[in-house]
Structure 1
Amino acid sequence: MGSSSRAGAASDRSRFGLTLALWGALVLGLNGLTWLTGFRTGPLTEGVEQGAARVESRGVGEVSDDLIRRAIQTQHDTLSFWTTLAWLGDFLVEPLTLAARALAAATLFASVAALVGRPVRYELALSECATAQGFWVLGLAVQVALMIALRRSDIETSPTLLLPAGVYPAAAWLALRQLDLFAVLGWGVLARGGWRRGQVNLATAVLICALLWLVEAAARITFGLVLGSGARLVIVPG
């Protein structure tokens, strides 16, 4: 019985790594496709060009042509910086987020289970939490497919789709993006898994996933606001 249990735990740990490796590879491939097709680089280049045009229009008649040319060149030089940041987000942060989310959920479920005397089942939780990350990968796949089919880079699967055309506060827009349909499904599966494994009751499972979602959402919103503010100051000054 003991050897069988250890073998099962080892199998679950192995499945955890293999599953995350598969999801990570798919994320890299899907994000790579958006770069190869220009849907990722296009908005960055367009933003820099808009900034350069604004610098030129504001400087005409006020400063020398040489200063205008240097200011425009400075705008163009920022493209590599913003491209690198976007590249790091797509090819480093996003794949690692899958692993961090699965590990955090499994660890919290097992910790609470141990505290209240329920079955810990940590290895099984790791395996199932890793499998649930497929919902986030599926969401990315749907977005990439729609980008290619519709030839648009502004594809969303969140409540932002329901907003009429207009200008909205960045914080509100970023907050709505955290309610992505596939992310909500993924968190629901994580909560159900913790309850089904007997680690926690359903209310506690939902609370744990809500807490993790809030932490992730806060990090994404904060980073988005900081990055957006920097872009507005550098790419489109004044």
Structure 2
Amino acid sequence: MKILVPVKRVIDYNVKVRVKPDQTGVDLANVKMSMNPFCEIAVEEAVRMKEKGGVDEIVVVSIGPAQAQETIRTALAMGADRGILIQTDETVEPLAVAKLLAKVVEEEAPGLVILGKQAIDDDSNQTGQMLAALLDWPQATFASEVVIDGGKASVTREIDGGLQTIAVETPAVITTDLRLNEPRYASLPNIMKAKRKPIDIKAPGDYGVDIAPRLSVVKVTEPAKREAGIKVESVAELVDKLKNKEGVI
């Protein structure tokens, strides 16, 4: 079985994001970029499946600028076999990403697509669901445990009421949650090997997909600074302040 793993290049989660002075977006100049944490979990899960047997190849695909090759190399160092970069400097919205991935799936014919449930830059949480709809494949979202047995995937997913285990036929689309696994660190030998693994460079036009944005950003602002809290001596005082000072009750 072949597994396709989409990965995204985002601002490193340890970096404090700054808004541009003109409020048109966030400042990316001289900012450390890395693989989206949820995508790392997806790569790790695919590699673990391959180590258990039954998976022949792991293909990583990314959509973004030329620098996204570094993100793909990280996935290759973790254990993926080859990469595909759909190179563009434009901002690609989730629907366009899903359409491009659907074209890649048609070419690669994987038995499973594993991707992060969301990216930490836009938090859209849409691509996996849209991809499954475009492919007309079963989907299992927010996976915290995945077991592949023959032509079925047993997926434990997190829901509001706790955990739910469902079985989906493959091929299928699975999106990963934080509790699925702990991604490994790439060793130096594997990093060196990753430099020799192939990455195919393509363009959105090669797939005939229009990536023009459908949405426009009006303004980007930083969240309001949180005010310091206060201590109260009793429940009565708390109720009084909420009612008479804050006016929330």
Determine if the TM-score, normalized by the shorter chain, exceeds 0.5: no
TM-score, normalised to structure 2's length?
Answer: 0.28
Relative contact order, CA 8 A, sep 6+: which one is greater?
A: 1
Query: Computing the radius of gyration over CA atoms, which structure comes out larger, 1 or 2?
Result: 1
